[in-house]
Amino acid sequence: MRNARDDKRRGHDRRVGERRRNWNHKIDIGGLRGTQHLPTWEDQRSQYLTRLLFCGLAVAYFNVGGEAQIRPWASLWLVNVVMSLYAVEILGFMWHAQRQPHVPWRRRLTMWVDIAAASFSALADATLSTPAFLVFLMVILGNGMRYGLKSFGEAAIGSFAASIVIIWLRLPDYLAIFSVSAIFFLVFCAIIVLYAYSLTAKIERARAKLAHERNIDALTGVLNRRALNERVTQLCQSSTGHGREAVVLFADLDGFKNVNDTHGHHVGDRVLVAVAERIRESVRSLDVVARYGGDEFLLILPNASPEGGEVVARRIRRAINEWAQTNRIEFNVSIGIGHYPSHGSDLESVIASVDKAMYRSKVEHGGGGILHVCCDPVPA
């Protein structure tokens, strides 16, 4: 009987390990989707300053060349007005980025404005080999290297389409200078873009691997404390999360030290893995699950009410208690519930309130059950 039970437990451990490895592939690290890569304000400031530098170079390029540098349909006055509007747009986005760094639509809109400004410069330039075409290459490489293959593809498609339109509108001029050297120039440009694409793919894979190692708890497969702090910061700064409610659940294992002392640390590790598994099975894909400490787990449930949080807490406790009874391991779980914005002006303060309430409950009541902030424990 004992051998059969041990075989059953080993089989269960293998299944848990397989599911945990699957979590590692599915887990949303940035947002952590696409931690992918979220630029800081300092990163974005350097990008906007670079745009302003190129804007200034474009103004100097046309003004030094004068009217002879500009095609008949345009004028120096028009070029200066368009470049001034472009500079104002950059300054406006720069101001917005300082206050809300993580706004995906702003990055995409800025990219398309860059393409539009480069297209205008290419059409207004009397020189067929206009430097504006180099800006397209910079837009592709800059967005791809910073934000991954999806941004690379979008920038490449936009720049390629703009180049086709420019060449089509100036087709007679380009046909007049068509030569073998022009063909090789286009081939070289295509090779550079393809090579940059392969480098971007390698960088993105390396970045994803590094983010996984830095942000995932090696034992349980959920987010670690560092990744949780970053995710909380993102949620607080996100404009999409502004004004919405969220529930914070703080799960603490009661009697976990006794499990380690009685059964050994290898069994304690099994318990932590099983708890993490039951928690993830009990929440939505958009909810944040992290290992907060040795035997503590913290959950953030966006757009949830305290009543909904209690439903989730009861579901988690029931799943964990069933597993503990099945495996004949004695421990319990206490869960504290906090609500944003009722229990704090931001998520950090709500987490601190729940942590203090859990500690107070442990001291006064010995833990156990479900605890709402500023309330006595609720029997489960």
Look at residue 241 in the predicted model and tell me its pLDDT. 45
Residue pair 254/331 in contact (Cβ under 8 Å)? The answer is: yes
**Per-residue pLDDT reduced to its tens digit, 143-167:** 888 888 888 999 999 999 999 999 8
DSSP string, 117-153: HHHHHHHHBS-SS-THHHHHHHHHHHHHHHH-HHHHH
pTM of the predicted protein model: 0.58
Long-range contact set of residues 199-205: C-beta below 8 Å, sequence gap at least 24 = 199/145, 200/144, 200/145, 200/148, 200/149, 200/152, 201/149, 203/145, 204/148, 204/149
Look at residue 237 in the predicted model and tell me its pLDDT. 63
CATH 3.40.190.10 matches 220-378: no
Look at residue 375 in the predicted model and tell me its pLDDT. 58
- What are the distances in angstroms from CA 5 to CA 9, 10, 11, 92, 277? 6, 9, 10, 66, 21
CA dist 336 and 316 (Å) reads: 12
Look at residue 109 in the predicted model and tell me its pLDDT. 93
Check whether the bond before 306 is cis (ω within 30° of 0).
no
Look at residue 365 in the predicted model and tell me its pLDDT. 60
Task: Parse the chain into domains and list their residue ranges.
Answer: 41-212, 220-378
Q: What is the longest distance spanned by two Cα atoms in the chain?
A: 95
Residues of the chain short of pLDDT 50, as ranges, are: 1-10, 12-36, 239-242, 376, 379
**Per-residue pLDDT reduced to its tens digit, 193-223:** 888 888 888 888 888 888 777 889 989 999 9
Look at residue 38 in the predicted model and tell me its pLDDT. 64
